[in-house]
Structure 1
């Protein structure tokens, strides 16, 4: 197996670009997760309200 020679400049550039891109991807993933959790909370609260109405009518 051959290991390709990578210049020091290219290595530094790769590291400098990978850190911000990883932070952006993580930030976006957290935003999506929070949106999903908010949506799920609304769904569960709606189901709870319906169940409470049914129990109140029974």
Structure 2
């Protein structure tokens, strides 16, 4: 069973995903079944890359 620990994070991550997808030209919307795995994976990979970069900047 999954439990959301920080409910506010869900909206933040959704907004972040949409922002990254928009910058990459990937048309995210309510239904994303017409997108390729490559498109979805590239958005997720870019999100992780940016989060790691932000974390590393915070450690300095």
Q: Which has the larger radius of gyration?
A: 1
TM (norm. structure 2) is 0.41
Greater helix content:
1
- Give the structure, 1 or 2, with the largest relative contact order (CA under 8 Å, sep 6 or more): 2
TM (norm. structure 1) is 0.42
